[in-house]
Amino acid sequence: EVQLVESGGGLVQAGGSLRLSCVASGFRLDDWGIGWFRQAPGKEREGMSCIGSDDGSTFYRDSVKGRFTISRDNAKNTVYLEMNNLNPEDTAVYYCAAGGAVVRCGPMWSHAMDYWGKGTLVTVSS
């Protein structure tokens, strides 16, 4: 069974850091582009960061540039999202997703996801 499982969410104070993990089972992440998305209460889901299957291509939404870092550990079949200097506007459920056609994180990467995790909640208090 193909699965993506996120972890690492929690409650953190503004200015703090969290590292989210996305572990795959049932398939190897090496050949897949991976995206991190988030959905805040009452808002639409938005793509925050992407790493292409070529490993050289990344994308960050402007609101998280310089604060978030996406990386992958193929040996652990895991993709990470390091989040620093968090603020209350970062509060959301964070999802990872895998796209077989996402070799590079082009303009349409967020629309090319095939598998989704169930999400992990990040709450940033002021």
- Using the predicted structure, report yes or no on whether residue 1 has a pLDDT greater than 90: no
For residues 103 and 33, the answer to whether their CB atoms sit within 8 Å is: yes
> Distance between CA 119 and CA 106 in Å, rounded?
23
Per residue in 47-56, pLDDT (tens digit) is 999 999 987 7
The Cα 4–Cα 72 span in angstroms is 14
Residues in the chain: 126
Quickly count: other Cβ atoms within 10 Å of residue 55's Cβ: 12
Residues β-bridged to residue 81: 20, 70
Look at residue 115 in the predicted model and tell me its pLDDT.
96
Q: What does the pLDDT look like over 73-90, one tens digit per residue? A: 999 999 999 999 999 999
